[in-house]
Amino acid sequence: MMDLDMDSMAATIGVSVPVLRFLLCFVVTIPVSFISRLVPTTGLRHAYAACSGAILSYLSFGFSSNLHFLVPMSIGYLSMAFFRAKCGIITFFLGFGYLIGCHVYYMSGDAWKGGGIDGTGALMVLTLKVISCAINYNDGLLKEDGLREPQKKNRLFKLPSLIEYFGYCLCCGNHFAGPVYEMKDYLEWTERKGIWSGPWPSPYLATLRALVQAAFCMALYLYMVPHHPLSRFTEPIYQEWGFWKRLSYQYRAGLTARWKYYFIWSISEASIIISGLGFSGWTDSSPPKPKWDRAKNVDILGVEFAKSAVEIPLVWNIQVSTWLRHYVYDRLVQKGKKPGFFQLLATQTVSAVWHGLYPGYLAFFVQSAMMIAGSRVIYKWQQALPPKMGIAKKIMGLMNFAYTILVLNYSCVGFMVLSMHETIASYGSVYYIGTVIPIVLILLSYVIKPAKPSRSKAQKAQ
C-alpha cells in the first residue's frame, strides 16, 4: 500500500519514486534539526547528529550509501591521526579520487538528468567537509604569521574525537545538499560556545521565510519544466528556429533549471536555521538583528540580476564557492603575487571535477572562468572612464549586465545536458556566441589597456 501511495504521489508531482523518497527525507531534516536544539548534552548532540544523518541517508539511498560515506571519512580521520603534517593534501587527493570513482561507477549525472537519484550528491558535500577538516587540522601546525584570516579562524589545534567527527560529517541539517560549514563552527554550536554561548535569537521567522521561498520555487519549477525539456536542444524543431529564438530558449531552459536548485537550497537553509547552526551573529543596526548567513546558499535575485559575472560565485552555491576560494583559489596564489587567470581556471576545473567527469560540466566551468575574466575586462574599462562620462559608465554597466545574462545562460546548457554531443549542438546552434565574446574581450584587454588614474600631489607626498 505504501509503495502504491508513493507511486501515485510521485506521478502527481511528476517525479520518480526514488526522487520522491529523497524529497520526503530531505523535508524531514527540518523537524529532525529542530529536535537537535532540545538534546541536553554535547556528547548526545554529536551522537544525534551522526545517527539522524545516517538513518536519513539509509532511508533515502539505501545501506550502501553509508558504506560509501565511510570511505572519505576514514581517509580524512586516519590521515589526521597518523600523518598530520600532510593530512590536508592526502585527504584532498584521496577524497577527490574516491568521489571521482563513484561518479564514474554510478554515472550519477545521467541518473539526475533522467529523474533518478543516488547518494553521490551527499558524498560530494561530505568530501568537501572532510577535506576542509583535514586542512584546518594541518594549519594548526603553522605559525600565525602569514596565515590568511580564514586560516586563523578555522584552524584546529586538537584532533576531533570520533563522535565529534562523525557528528560533523553526517549532521542531517546539511548532509544531503549543503551548505558546507567548518568543523570549528560545528564544535562551538554543539558545545554552546562562541556566538552560541548566550541566548539564541528565535529562528522561526527566518525558517518560515525559507519555507515560503522553497514552496514558491518548487511551484514555479513544476510549472516551467514541461515547457522547457532538455531534449529540445537536439530536436529538429529547435534547429528550425531562428538565432534569437534559440538564444532565448537557452535562457528560459537555464532559468527553469535554476528554480530546482533554489528549492533544494531553500529547504536546506530552513533546516540549518531552525537547528540554530545557521546563526552567524548580529547586524550593526539599532536594534541589532540576527544574521543567518551560515545557512544561506543562494541569493536568487542576486543571481538573476547580477551586474557582472564576478558576482555570480558570491550569490550562487555560496558556501561551496567560499570553500573553493579558501581551499583552492587562495592557496594557489604565491605569497606577494596577485591571483590571475590560472588560479581562476584551476579553481573552476576543481569545481567541474567535483561535480563529475562529464564533458558538459568541464565545458561549463571552463566557460565560467572565461565569463568571469571577460566581465572583469568590461569592469576595468568602465572604472577607467572619467567621472564626467557618467552616461558612458552606465552604458558599460548595462553591457556587463547583458553580457552576464547571455554568457551565463549559454554556458549552463552544458551543465544541464552533460554530453559532449548535446553541449556542442547547443553551443553551435547560436554560433558559439557565449564562447567567442569572452575570448574577444580577454584578447582586447591586452590591446586596450585603460590608463591608471593619476594620483594627486597629496597622495604622492604621502
Q: Using alpha carbons, select from 175, 130, 140, 107 the residue that is nearest to residue 323.
A: 130
Which of these is catalytic: 228, 326, 355, 421? Answer: 355
Strands 281-282 and 290-291: antiparallel
Helix (H) / strand (E) containing 281 = strand 281-282
What sections of 114-242 are H helices per DSSP? 120-139, 149-154, 162-170, 172-175, 183-191, 204-224, 236-240
274 φ/ψ angles, rounded to the nearest 5 degrees: -70, -20
Give CA–CA dist 172/28, Å, rounded. Answer: 9
Q: Is the C-alpha dihedral spanning 379, 384, 385, 390 positive or negative?
A: positive
State how far the Cα of 424 lies from the Cα of 406, in Å rounded to an integer: 17
Asked if the peptide bond before residue 31 counts as cis, ω within 30 degrees of 0, the response is: no
- Alpha-carbon distance of 124 to 102, in angstroms, equals 10
Q: What share of residues in the chain are helix, strand, coil (percent, to 5)?
A: 75, 0, 25
Nine-digit cell string for 423: 553541449
Residue 355 annotated among the catalytic residues of the structure = yes
Q: Can you tell me whether residue 291 is helix, strand or coil?
A: strand
Q: Whose CA is closest to 363, among 413, 428, 404?
A: 413
Report yes or no: 153 and 35 within 8 Å, Cβ to Cβ.
Answer: no
Per-residue exposure over 247-272, b if at least 16 CB sit within 10 Å of its own CB, e if not: bebbbebbbbbbbbbbbbbbbbbbbb
Which residues are known catalytic residues?
Answer: 355
